Amino acid sequence: MSDLASQKRIAAAILKCGVNRVWFDPERQADIEAAISRNDLRELVTEGAIKAHPVKGNSRGRARVRIAKRSYGHRKGQGRRKGAAGARGSSKRAWIRKIRAQRRVLREMRADGSIDRSLYRVMYRRASGGQFRSVSHLTSHMDTTAGRMR
């Protein structure tokens, strides 16, 4: 078997890939051996005697499974944590998420008439002051307070 290293190098330059991705057709070995110029090799590429292997990629399948598990709380135990609680999730973002949800619920209640404007304003100010842990805490408080406010 002859040395086709120079043909492989030139073919790699023509195919714009690495030397290890170049494939020579074993049936056309004699033609490839005889090809010494770039033009000869270019013709062999168009004929299909020389090809580039496809690029191999890293599968993201396992990563997707891991991300899905983390989305519902798995793989997040004490042993997995490196940063402090504030570094892992900012308290400001948590507050923003919580207050926006509470204000949305208050707006909906005012719009559908379950609370009037004055009670809306009182509850809005209480929510802004951080009185309620969550939307459910706010609504349960509304049930007990609404009777006393009217």
pLDDT at 145: 74
Domain ranges of the chain: 5-52, 89-149
**Global confidence as pTM:** 0.55
What CATH number has the domain spanning 89-149?
Answer: 1.10.1200.60
Answer yes or no: CATH 3.30.110.70 is held by domain 5-52.
no
Residue 21 in contact with residue 52, Cβ under 8 Å? yes
State whether residue 84 is helix, strand or coil.
coil
Q: Do domains 5-52 and 89-149 have the same CATH topology?
A: no
pLDDT of amino acid 148 = 65
pLDDT-derived band at 149 (thresholds 50, 70, 90) equals: low
Average pLDDT estimate for 51-73: 96
> Residue 66: its pLDDT value, please?
97
The dihedral of CA 88, 90, 96, 98: what is its sign?
Answer: positive
Asked if 57 and 31 touch (Cβ cutoff 8 Å), the reply is: no
Contact 22, 15 (CB under 8 A): yes
List residues bridging with 24 in a β-sheet: 50
